[in-house]
Amino acid sequence: MESNEVESKKKAILDKIFIKEEDTLKNLEEIVSKSSKHFKINSESDRFIIFEAHIKDITSKILLFFVGLYLIKQRGSSDSDSINISDLSKKIGVEKTSLSKPLGILIGKGYIKKDSAGNYSVEHYKIKEILGGLENWT
């Protein structure tokens, strides 16, 4: 086999394990459908509304908030889908001191990531898993 052919085959094999954001976007309709059962986003202000009737625990609020931020970014209404802990506290109405432990657990599970600036965001490839598992958290 020629070197280019070998490299091409190797790349095709390795591409099966690498996750791209485009893969998440292929499921955008399903993500929006599942998300809309739990929250709505005000189109004028991109303010987040979580339906408190069935979303009561902090972990679910955090996860849904980050899914919402991701969707806001995909809509083009924001350049970023990350937020610092102080702003997160204000947006979801939970004391900052109550967020550290759940955020740490969610980072450990691979649902949320924290960048070097201290901002948090959802791992896009985990969104379907997050929404699928929501019934277990509420």
112-114 vs 48-50, strand pairing mode: unpaired
Read off the CATH number of the domain in which 132 is found. 1.10.10.10
What is the number of structural domains in the chain?
Answer: 1
pTM of the predicted structure, to 2 decimals: 0.81
Q: Tens of pLDDT along 99-114? A: 999 999 999 999 999 9
Domain range holding 133?
A: 21-137
Instruction: Tell me how far apart the alpha carbons of residues 82 and 1 are, in angstroms, rounded to a whole number.
Output: 46
Write down the mean pLDDT value for the chain.
87
pLDDT of residue 46: 62
Q: Residue 10 falls within a domain, yes or no?
A: no
Q: Tens of pLDDT along 23-80? A: 777 889 999 999 998 888 887 776 667 765 677 889 999 999 999 999 999 988 888 8
Instruction: Tell me how far apart the alpha carbons of residues 85 and 4 are, in angstroms, rounded to a whole number.
Output: 48
Q: Residue 106 falls within a domain, yes or no?
A: yes
- Look up residue 10 and give its two tokens: 């190797």
